[in-house]
Amino acid sequence: MQHAPMLESRSEEVMSKTHAYPEPFVVPPRQEHTHSFILLHGRGSNGEKFGVELLKTRTGTSNSEPADMPVKGGILQHACPGTKFIFPTAKKRRARWYKRASINQWFDGVPIDAQEDGVTKDQEEWQLEGLRESRAFLKTIVDLEVNAVGAGNVFVGGMSQGCAMALHFLMSYEGADENGRACSDVPHLGCFVGMSGWLPFQDDIMSELAPIDPGEDDEDLFATSDDEHDGQIDNMGLFEHDADGSSERSPATRVCNLVRDNMDLPPIASSSPLCLSTPVFLGHGRSDEKVNMERGVQAADALRQMGMQVTWKDYDEGHWYKVPQEIEDIVRFLDDL
């Protein structure tokens, strides 16, 4: 897969590192190309391994497929014959928690099952470099597919850490325009599908969703600026002014600007971020020993509080998709779009 042209608004340092990512594993559509589905693997896996396992999932009715298909068709391929499936692979990063072992991961961080006692600020910030680099890499893939089939026909999602990465991508996505300008004319992505995932910086996000105390507004990152940048943020159109000159940002805008700030992206002006128009499916195993289901529930709750349409399903299994029930639920979700 070729890389899309680099956007000037991204730093050269971050963008140069996107070339360290392996080529995605791509399964072509079985019919005319109408949709593209980009799915991210979990920590330590890779695109081909995840893609083959996911796409071979089948029911008793999906017993026939063309012999020349690179991956034997399962539920998803039979239900979505015009869909091109794209499984990117995360580049290898040093995992601080695992004595700096080099593994495929979208971003570094303390494993979720080791966070019962919380994490330090420094440990939380381990995530940032990978989130920024992986986000830029994914943007090149998404841009190519949007150009091919239109944003509304491009789906994104992932499994475990791939779900977490894709959620942060979705919440920072504002179409081809990265400069925080109004984007009401930019179509949203078609849907999001996440399995056994969580939301990075969950506590910070929930703080942004809490009602703002007017007396504490000066503590808001986007509410004030120092002398050097006085008026700069407001001149971007970040604030929506009502008749009496006051300014207010929606909870969804505050959250998306938090995520975009983590990604080194400019804030957006819209009170209705583009991600609010993208339907979300989240599935999780009740017995998940790696990512406790409560983390998935918390992610779904945060997205709903932002105003997103979330379909939540939970299953008896652990840290994997429940075969074939969860995949069938995903197909039903796609059918209802």
Residue 218 has pLDDT above 70, yes or no: no
Q: Which domains does the chain have, with CATH numbers?
A: 12-206+271-335 (3.40.50.1820), 213-262 (no CATH)
Residue 109 · residue 115 · CB < 8 Å: no
Q: Report the C-alpha gap between 88 and 81 in whole angstroms.
A: 20
Residue 122 has pLDDT above 70, yes or no: yes
Q: Which residues pair with 155 in a beta bridge?
A: 37, 191
Q: Whole-number mean pLDDT of the chain? A: 82
pLDDT score for 133: 97
> Considering only 218-227, 239-248, 261-270, 277-286, which range has the smallest mean pLDDT?
239-248
Task: Label residue 150 left, alpha or beta by phi (over 0 means left) and psi (-120 to 50 means alpha).
Answer: left
> Considering only 39-48, 110-119, 228-237, 317-326, which range has the smallest mean pLDDT?
228-237
Extended beta strands in 107-186, E state: 154-159
pLDDT score for 114: 67
